[in-house]
């Protein structure tokens, strides 16, 4: 997320009680997770495995738990607990706001848009023109919705990312300060859940349609004109390119890409990136034709065993 | 759906700007999708693959994108875009109505029925006697519910069909004007979704019970005394006969029939019609015993490979 | 459940019209299903298969449909329909209460806890300190929630058990009079469903976190610091020990135990108890490494068939 006002690095160091090593003239202009960082952003890293990625990222400011050398044009904040400090900053600069009525006075709602009874529209939400938000939908703070969008009853847009840090005796919650951004002409079925980004945006591209009970994790980016059938589950940080079709109950693991126009048959499980333009089936998923051949051979397995005896 | 008032074929032709070929004395008395047509109905067909089905159906009036010969006792409306015209008629004769309070004044609610806080009851809904509609349930317009029905919190009855026409650059939405019809003594768990028919009725037979997070697609007809465990997903236009048991997370593809008394074990995937009275398992589903035999053989696969070496 | 006031066995026999055989001096102090019985409880049994279990259980009072010998220190209620009588007692001693406003006046809500618009808090519910109950959540009667708990939008806590008795021409509903008890520091995602116990408690242990659209059946006991990813489905009467991780869309059958620290990969199906400390995969689930070996061999199946020809 971008900050409303810049922060001086020295002020920020004081806020989190960290030692500052400064090799940049910039001020802090954004707070972002390592996947989402841009020039001017602050991020955090707390595992040696990811030090290199963080130090070579676009982030200008890094909270880190080691006295590594500070790259040029960056600043380091040396901290005993970068995760704790990062969460503290997120909470400070995008504080959780309560809601005292069904539609927040800070929400913007376009002409011709219908908000049905029981729907909840959070703080700083923006909804475009000619949308229908059906009953008992919940739209969390900061969500952005385009024009001609339909959201069916009971759907939840913008709940927190499922993201925790394992401590010796507990899971510590990451504070989600990102958003959900929904393009024009999107239709979302009933009882779907689309989580907000951790610091960036979960995005649903223009013209994409989804059936009921679909789950989409944090920071996932869905392209244009995709079709997701009922009960599809997509983890976080997934990229789904344009015109992808996922049939019912398909599951998609985190941090992978499904190429343009891929078609995934029902109940398949996707564990790694898939090339576009092809049809897939199975859990774990394979090329559709290969999988069918395998299933045909499986039926002949009793024969094989008989022959071997 | 049946029309409240008959329409003269010539008037209808004018409304959609189509050329009329008339070989019937009937007036238009209903609007229905090809799966659901009856005598007096208007339907549409826009693909040569389905011309024969439409022309030989019970529909008396057909919107079609080709100058085919008009069968006796029917009328054709020649149109460059039958889908667009059909959707336009549906919208005209069953217009979308807004809702301004939790329970529509046009809803009928039987004696002894309890509507809990946060539940939304749409326009022209009918609910029988001694029902319990738990909090935050949403019941869309025109839904019909029998007596002694229990619907748990968060469930959505009557959301639109997941039905789009692919255009070169977008998906065009079919307008759902059908209903959900729920028999007596049905119990529906929490956070379930039962979509309305496109033009006909999605039906849940008397005494059927379903657990939480079940999805049932448009125009699916479920028989009496069925049991559906949690997270079952059933696509559209499925026929499930009486006393069928679907265990947890079973997925059912569209346009097929599951015979009376069939039992489908958990996580199975059903891709084609199944005979009644048997037990099935697997994705894709097979006879339960065959599947268990296959699984046993699979465990011996390493042996086979060793022998072959 | 425990009774607020003791009942004399003779009074209870009269209420249900059963013949009493009395070999105890105790009064009835609780009503519980056979899985949950304690000293002083009344339970029921109506199938010879379970007579022994009931007669040797901790229950002091048993409604039974046979003239068996009464064990010492127990009492029998001879009835032609123990299920009917048991349900009648449950309804009498924990009657269903209606709710006339979003938050019941009998609910107790701790300091610093935020109840968002559209959330429903039932009768006799207790919620601890510093919780956030997001919009459109439904919390059924008698639910107990600890401190620092977050429940995301649309989630349903405490709906009825999916539990019916098959009669020749219908399913008879068990009346759920149990509770859901949620420990401190639990976070529950959006659109989850956690059913109440039939007579005891469905429990979620301290520090457990779950993503969206998770289903948990009646009387299931979940340990501390578990992680459940989206769309996990867990049947009733399951024991999940501490620190278990279930990835997305995992299904768990009823009446089994998953040992401490087990990790189950996505879309797996669990049909019997699993030892802790291991990683599992597949439907039906197997040791993760064995399953991967099997999948690798499956890809070579065409080879095997070629060799055999």
Q: What is the DSSP string of C49-112?
A: HHHHHHHTSS-SEEEESS-PPPPTT-EEEE-S-HHHHHHHHHHHHS------SSB-TT-EE-TT
Q: Is residue B47 part of a domain?
A: yes
Q: Which residue of B has its CA nearest to C190?
A: B191
**What is the nearest CA distance from C222 to chain B, expressed in angstroms?**
18
* Per-residue pLDDT at A35: 86
Query: What average pLDDT does this structure show over A93-108?
Result: 96
Q: Do B112 and B185 fall into the same domain?
A: yes
Q: Do C126 and C257 fall into the same domain?
A: yes
Longest dimension (CA), chain B: 78
Q: How far apart are the first and last CA of chain A?
A: 66
In this model, does residue A307 exceed pLDDT 90?
Answer: no
Q: Do C141 and C210 fall into the same domain?
A: yes
SS3 per-residue string spanning chain B: CEEEEEECHHHHHHHHCCEEEECCCCCEEEECCHHHCCCCEEEEECCHHHHHHHHCCCCCEEEECCCCCCCCCCEEEECCCHHHHHHHHHHHHCCCCCCCCCECCCCEECCCCEECCCCEECCCCEECCCCEECCCCEECCCCEECCCCEECCCCEECCCCCCEEEECCEEEECCCCCEEEECCCCEECCCCEECCCCCCEEEECCCCEECCCCEECCCCEECCCCEECCCCEECCCCEECCCCEECCCCEECCCCEECCCCEECCCCEECCCECCCCEEECCCCEEHHHHHHHHHHHHCHHHHHHHHC
| Domain boundary residue, one of C59, C93, C127 | C93
**What is the nearest CA distance from C191 to chain B, expressed in angstroms?**
7
pLDDT top residue among C38 and A308:
C38
Q: Say yes or no for a CB contact (<8 Å) between C227 and A171.
A: yes
* Per-residue pLDDT at B105: 97
Query: What average pLDDT does this structure show over B115-131?
Result: 98
Q: 3-class DSSP state for residue A15?
A: helix
- Please write the tens of the pLDDT for every residue from B59-104: 999 999 999 999 999 999 999 999 999 999 999 999 999 999 999 9
In this model, does residue C299 exceed pLDDT 90?
Answer: no
Which domain range does residue C42 map to?
2-93
Q: Is residue C20 part of a domain?
A: yes
* Per-residue pLDDT at A74: 97
Q: Is residue A67 part of a domain?
A: yes
Q: Is residue B309 part of a domain?
A: no
- How many structural domains compose chain A? 2
* Per-residue pLDDT at A299: 87
- Please write the tens of the pLDDT for every residue from B216-257: 999 999 999 999 999 999 999 999 999 999 999 999 999 999
Q: Do C282 and C219 fall into the same domain?
A: yes
Q: In this complex, how many residue pairs, one in chain A and one in chain B, have their CB atoms less than 8 Å apart?
A: 128
Percent of chain C with pLDDT over 70: 100
- Please write the tens of the pLDDT for every residue from A169-185: 999 999 999 999 999 99
Q: Do A83 and A167 fall into the same domain?
A: no
Q: Is residue C29 part of a domain?
A: yes
Q: Is residue A264 part of a domain?
A: yes
Q: In this complex, how many residue pairs, one in chain A and one in chain C, have their CB atoms less than 8 Å apart?
A: 129
Q: How far apart are the first and last CA of chain B?
A: 66
* Per-residue pLDDT at A176: 95
Q: Do C54 and C147 fall into the same domain?
A: no
Confidence tier at B150 by pLDDT (50, 70, 90): very high
- Please write the tens of the pLDDT for every residue from A114-173: 999 999 999 999 999 999 999 999 999 999 999 999 999 999 999 999 999 999 999 999
| Domain boundary residue, one of C93, C120, C142 | C93
Contact by Cβ (8 Å): A162, A195:
yes
Catalytically annotated residue among A39, A124, A218, A225: A218
> Which chains neighbour A (Cβ–Cβ under 8 Å, 3 or more pairs)?
B, C
Q: Do C56 and C182 fall into the same domain?
A: no
Give every CB contact of residue C290 below 8 A, 6+ residues apart in sequence. Answer: none
Percent of chain A with pLDDT over 70: 100
Best probe of the C interface among A138, A168, A238, A271, by most C CBs < 10 A, is A138
Contact by Cβ (8 Å): B231, B249:
yes
As a whole number, the mean pLDDT across chain A is: 96
Q: Say yes or no for a CB contact (<8 Å) between C212 and A156.
A: yes
- Please write the tens of the pLDDT for every residue from B286-305: 999 999 999 998 888 888 77
* Per-residue pLDDT at B304: 78
* Per-residue pLDDT at C224: 98
In this model, does residue C40 exceed pLDDT 80?
Answer: yes
Q: Do B50 and B181 fall into the same domain?
A: no
In this model, does residue A97 exceed pLDDT 80?
Answer: yes
Q: Do A88 and A124 fall into the same domain?
A: no
Confidence tier at B307 by pLDDT (50, 70, 90): confident
Chain C residues with CB under 8 Å of a chain A CB are 114, 116-118, 132, 134-136, 150, 152-154, 185, 187, 189-191, 207, 209, 211-213, 225, 227, 229-231, 248-249, 266-267, 283, 295, 298-299, 301-302, 304-305, 308
- Please write the tens of the pLDDT for every residue from C144-160: 999 999 999 999 999 99
Range scoring the smallest mean pLDDT among A296-300, B175-179, B207-211:
A296-300
CATH of the domain at A43: 3.40.1390.10
* Per-residue pLDDT at A285: 96
Q: Say yes or no for a CB contact (<8 Å) between C253 and B249.
A: no
Query: What average pLDDT does this structure show over B268-279?
Result: 98
Best probe of the A interface among B102, B138, B158, B169, by most A CBs < 10 A, is B138
In this model, does residue C205 exceed pLDDT 90?
Answer: yes
Q: Do A284 and A206 fall into the same domain?
A: yes
Q: Is residue A303 part of a domain?
A: no
**Strands of A233-234's sheet, edge to edge?**
A120-121, A138-139, A156-157, A193-194, A215-216, A233-234, A251-252, A269-270
Q: Say yes or no for a CB contact (<8 Å) between C191 and A154.
A: yes
Q: Do A181 and A49 fall into the same domain?
A: no
Q: Do A46 and A153 fall into the same domain?
A: no
CATH of the domain at B283: 2.160.10.10
Best probe of the B interface among C251, C254, C282, C297, by most B CBs < 10 A, is C251
In this model, does residue A59 exceed pLDDT 90?
Answer: yes
**What is the nearest CA distance from B54 to chain C, expressed in angstroms?**
40
Whether the bond between A284 and the residue before it is cis, its omega within 30 degrees of 0, is yes
* Per-residue pLDDT at B35: 85
In this model, does residue C119 exceed pLDDT 80?
Answer: yes
Percent of chain C with pLDDT over 90: 95
Q: How far apart are the first and last CA of chain C?
A: 66
Contact by Cβ (8 Å): A183, A207:
yes
Beta-strand relationship, A2-7 and A61-64: unpaired
Q: Which residue in the block uniquely carries the two structure tokens 């980004």?
A: A197
In this model, does residue C140 exceed pLDDT 90?
Answer: yes
CB contacts, 8 Å: A209 with chain B: 162, 164, 171, 173
In this model, does residue C133 exceed pLDDT 90?
Answer: yes
- Please write the tens of the pLDDT for every residue from B128-145: 999 999 999 999 999 999
CB atoms within 10 A of CB C73: 11
CA-angle at C67, arms to C61 and C71, nearest 5°: 45
Query: What average pLDDT does this structure show over A258-284?
Result: 98
Q: Of A181, A182, A180, nearest to A196 (Cα)?
A: A180
* Per-residue pLDDT at B49: 96
- Exposure string (b/e) for C163-185, b if CB count within 10 Å is 16 or more? beeeeeeebebbbbbbbbbbbbb
Q: Is residue B100 part of a domain?
A: no
């Amino acid at each position: 997320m971008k900050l409303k006002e810049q922060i001086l690095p020295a002020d920020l160091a004081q806020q989190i009680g960290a030692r500052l090593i400064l090799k940049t003239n910039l001020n802090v202009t954004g707070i972002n997770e390592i996947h989402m960082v841009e020039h001017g952003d602050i991020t955090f890293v707390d595992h040696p495995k990811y030090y290199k990625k963080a130090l070579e990222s676009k982030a200008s400011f890094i909270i880190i738990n080691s006295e590594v050398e500070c790259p040029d044009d960056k600043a380091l904040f040396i901290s005993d607990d970068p995760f704790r400090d990062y969460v503290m900053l997120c909470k400070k600069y995008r504080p959780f706001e309560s809601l005292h009525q069904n539609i927040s006075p800070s929400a913007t709602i376009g002409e011709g848009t219908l908000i049905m009874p029981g729907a909840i529209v959070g703080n700083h939400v923006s909804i475009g023109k000619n949308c229908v938000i059906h009953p008992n939908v919940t739209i969390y703070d900061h969500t952005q919705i385009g024009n001609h969008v339909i959201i069916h009853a009971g759907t939840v847009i913008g709940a927190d990312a499922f993201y925790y840090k394992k401590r010796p005796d507990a899971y510590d919650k990451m504070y989600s300060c990102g958003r959900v951004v929904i393009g024009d002409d999107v239709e979302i079925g009933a009882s779907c859940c689309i989580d907000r980004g951790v610091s960036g945006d979960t995005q649903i591209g223009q013209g994409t349609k989804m059936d009921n009970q679909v789950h989409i994790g944090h920071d996932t980016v869905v392209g244009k004109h995709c079709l997701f059938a009922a009960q599809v589950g997509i983890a976080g940080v997934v990229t789904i390119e344009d015109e992808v079709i996922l049939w019912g109950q398909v599951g998609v693991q985190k941090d992978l890409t499904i190429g343009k126009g891929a078609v995934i048959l029902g109940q398949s499980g996707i564990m790694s990136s898939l090339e576009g333009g092809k049809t897939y089936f199975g859990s774990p998923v394979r090329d559709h034709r290969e999988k069918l051949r395998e299933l045909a051979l499986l039926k002949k397995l009793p024969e094989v065993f008989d022959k071997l005896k």
